[in-house]
Amino acid sequence: MKQENRKDEIIQTATKLFKKKGYSAVTMRDIAKEMGIKAASLYNHINSKQDILTTIIISLAKEYTEGIEIIKLSENNSIEKLKQIIALHVKITTQNANGMASLNNDWMHLEEQLEYYLMLRTNYESDFREIIIRGIENNEITKSNPDIILFSILSTLRSLYLWIPKKDILNPNKLALDLSSILINGIKK
């Protein structure tokens, strides 16, 4: 097996275990056992459990940051941008629900990359808030506290990783449309 494929396999196995047990409860031996190999073999492909966590969290955080940057710079109005952000979350979560568990629950265990991750998260939330503020200023979004709007939408989007794997048949595009309708338009008839 190629070195990179084995590394990816280790990361995917660890990601599942991190979601199931939490980062702190998983050992390198647990990862090796799940893969049916000796723990020492893992170190031919990775340096540490911390490196695995860093790879998972930073890659997802970058994917969100890069995605929202493209959305923010687009010519779309604020409502369309919010719909694109919701679709971004659905896409990333459906592709990596296990990794999202680490992003949401284990980020505080990052060591050397913690400050970098926090910077990415802060920038993401700032861009998201800015889109909401522009929407309020342009009379596209009701005058309300932008932080409450941000919190309300992000709370739902950040918990998708818990809900999505429980759905056998899921159309990510339809989910993004339905979520957009509810999160942006509300449930009032």
Structural domain contains residue 90: yes
User: What pLDDT is stored for residue 2 in this prediction?
Assistant: 53
Name the stretches of the chain with pLDDT < 50: 1
97 located within any domain: yes
In a domain, 162, yes or no: yes
Looking up residue 99, the CATH number of its domain turns out to be 1.10.357.10
Residue 1: the pLDDT is: 46
Residue 179: inside a domain, yes or no? Answer: yes
Would 26 be classed as within a structural domain?
no
**33 lies in some domain:** no
Task: Look at the chain and count its residues.
Answer: 189
Position 73 scores a pLDDT of 96
Q: What is the pLDDT of residue 169?
A: 72
Distance (Å, whole) CA 35 – CA 32: 5
The total number of structural domains that make up the chain: 1
In this predicted model, what pLDDT tens digit does every residue of 63-104 receive, in sequence order?
Answer: 999 999 999 999 999 999 999 999 999 999 999 999 999 999
